[in-house]
Amino acid sequence: MADLLTRPNGGSRRLAVSDLFGFDPFRAFLGGTGNGSGLALEVQKTDDGWTVELPVPGYRPDQIEVTVEDRVLTVTGTSERRSFQRSIFLPEEIDTAAIDAKVEHGLLALGLHLQAKARPRKIDVQVVN
């Protein structure tokens, strides 16, 4: 059985990203080596995909750029004194045209939504008389 992660505040339990995809596509956000040299992030599964939260304290929204090219999502931040760049390879099931990004209180939230064909759907069972 896959290892489960628990939020420090006692929130919901969730599977590790590497257990769901077979690899960790978000590892690059951690600086690649996991030694803490990169910016920390939080990844959470949602009903229609994933939410990735990346702290960007001190950066204004106009100093942050999010791009997608050939299934590679890149976040770049540039200010007068510092800069960063993080890239991840997106699985095929992510709809790259439906990615959204919001900055609030120094936190960048990326909505990675599943393509419509990859979303589970409930089929109603009808009674035939």
Count of alpha carbons within 13 angstroms of residue 80, beta-carbon side: 0
Query: Domain coordinates of the chain in residue numbers?
Result: 4-116
What is the reported pTM?
A: 0.63
Tokens read off for 61? 């929204």
Average pLDDT for 44-55: 91
Q: Of the CATH numbers 1.10.1370.30, 2.60.40.790, 3.40.720.10, 3.30.70.1140, which one belongs to the domain with range 4-116?
A: 2.60.40.790
d(CA 72, CA 82): 23
pLDDT of 117-128, one tens digit each? 866 778 889 899
Q: Are 74 and 67 in contact (CB under 8 A)?
A: yes
Q: Which residues contact 73 (CB under 8 A, 6 or more apart)?
A: 66, 67, 87, 88, 90, 96, 99, 110, 112
